[in-house]
C-alpha cells in the first residue's frame, strides 16, 4: 500500500517536472544565444554556458537526459554544454549526462546516440609545456586544440572520452568506457583505452 502511494507520488512529480524542464532549458538556451528548433525534449536540469564568442546551433528532436530520475546508468551528472567556440548538433541526437566542452569547434551529425557520462573535449585545457602551464595568463591559450567531428548515426558507449582533433566516421560504434584519441573510420566498432579496432559494423 505504502509502496503504491510512493510510486503514485513519484509518477505525478515526474510528470509535473517534465512540464518544467524543457521550457526552462529553452529559456536558458535563448539567454545564451543558442539557435535551437522547437522540437527539444529535455529531462532533468542541465548546465549551459556560452561565452560571447561561442556559437551553438541545435537541430530538431534533441533529447537530453540528466540527473538521477532520467539517467539510470549511474554516475549521474548534469548534461553540460560549455561553449567558447562553435558547437553544431544535428537532428535527432540523444545524450544522457554528457559534458561537451567546446573551446574551438565540435560538430555532431544527425541520428547520433551519445551514452551516459561521455565527455567530449576539443582542447587539452592546459599547455604541455610546464613553464607555460604555470603561467595562468598563457596556459589556456597555448593548450592544443582540434575540431571534433562525430558523423551521422554514430553510437558512443557510456563513460567514453572523446579527445581533441578526432573524427568518428558515419555509422561507427564506440564501446563503453573508451578513450578516442584518433580518427575512427566509418562502419567500424572501436573500444578500449586507447580505443582499438574491434570489428566492422554488420
Ligand atoms: C562495443 C560493443 C557494442 C560490442 O558489443 P558486441 O558486438 O556484442 O561485442 P562482443 O561483446 O562480442 O565483444 C567483441 C570484443 O570486443 C571487446 N569489447 C567489447 N566491448 C568493449 C569495451 N567497451 N572496451 C574494450 N573492449 C571491448 C570484447 O572483450 C571482445 O574482445 P575479444 O574478441 O578479444 O574477446 C559493446 O561491448 C559496448 O560497449 N556497448 C555499449 C553499451 C553502452 O554503453 N550503451 C550506452 C548506455 S547509455
**Eight-class DSSP state of 68:** T
CATH class of the domain at 22-200: mainly beta
pLDDT band at 70 (very low <50, low <70, confident <90, very high): confident
Q: Which tens digit of pLDDT belongs to each residue from 181-200? A: 999 999 999 999 999 999 99
Q: Which tens digit of pLDDT belongs to each residue from 74-120? A: 777 899 999 999 999 999 999 999 999 999 999 999 999 999 999 99
For the chain, the average pLDDT equals 94
Q: How far, in Å, from the CA of 179 to the mean position of ligand 1? A: 13
pLDDT band at 156 (very low <50, low <70, confident <90, very high): very high
Q: Which tens digit of pLDDT belongs to each residue from 119-143? A: 999 999 999 999 999 998 999 889 9
What share of the chain in percent tops pLDDT 70? 100
Question: Strand locations in the chain, DSSP E?
Answer: 40-43, 47-50, 55-58, 62-65, 80-83, 86-89, 94-96, 99-102, 105-108, 113-114, 119-121, 148-150, 155-156, 161-162, 167-168, 173-174, 179-180, 188-191, 196-200
Q: Is the dihedral of CA 30, 33, 36, 42 positive or negative?
A: negative
Q: What is the pTM of this model?
A: 0.94
Q: Which tens digit of pLDDT belongs to each residue from 9-41? A: 988 988 888 889 999 999 999 999 999 998 899
Range 31-52 average pLDDT: 94
Q: Coil, strand or helix: which one is 63? A: strand
Query: Ligand 1 pocket: which of 65, 156, 157 to mutate (most atoms <8 Å of CB)?
Result: 157
Cell readout for 75 is 554516475
Residues in contact with ligand 1 (CB, 6 Å cut-off): 73, 96, 115-116, 157-158, 173, 175-178, 189, 191-192, 198
In angstroms, the CA 148 to CA 190 distance is 17
Amino acid at each position: 500500500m505504502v509502496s503504491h502511494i510512493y510510486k503514485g507520488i513519484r509518477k505525478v512529480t515526474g510528470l509535473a517536472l517534465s512540464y518544467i524542464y524543457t521550457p526552462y532549458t529553452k529559456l536558458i538556451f535563448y539567454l545564451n544565444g543558442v539557435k535551437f528548433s522547437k522540437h527539444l525534449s529535455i529531462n532533468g536540469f542541465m548546465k549551459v554556458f556560452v561565452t560571447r564568442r561561442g556559437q551553438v546551433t541545435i537541430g530538431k528532436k534533441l533529447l537530453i537526459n540528466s540527473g538521477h530520475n532520467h539517467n539510470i546508468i549511474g554516475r549521474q551528472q548534469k548534461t553540460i554544454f560549455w561553449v567558447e567556440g562553435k558547437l553544431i548538433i544535428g537532428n535527432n541526437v540523444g545524450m544522457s549526462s554528457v559534458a561537451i566542452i567546446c573551446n574551438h569547434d565540435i560538430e555532431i551529425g544527425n541520428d547520433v546516440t551519445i551514452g551516459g557520462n561521455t565527455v567530449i573535449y576539443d582542447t587539452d585545457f592546459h599547455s604541455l609545456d610546464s613553464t607555460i602551464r604555470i603561467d595562468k595568463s598563457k596556459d589556456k591559450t597555448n593548450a592544443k586544440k582540434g575540431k571534433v567531428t562525430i558523423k551521422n548515426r554514430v553510437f558512443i558507449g557510456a563513460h567514453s572520452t572523446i579527445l581533441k582533433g578526432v573524427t568518428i566516421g558515419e555509422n561507427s560504434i564506440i564501446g563503453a568506457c573508451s578513450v578516442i584519441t584518433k580518427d575512427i573510420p566509418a562502419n567500424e566498432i572501436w573500444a578500449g583505452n586507447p580505443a582499438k579496432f574491434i570489428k566492422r559494423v554488420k
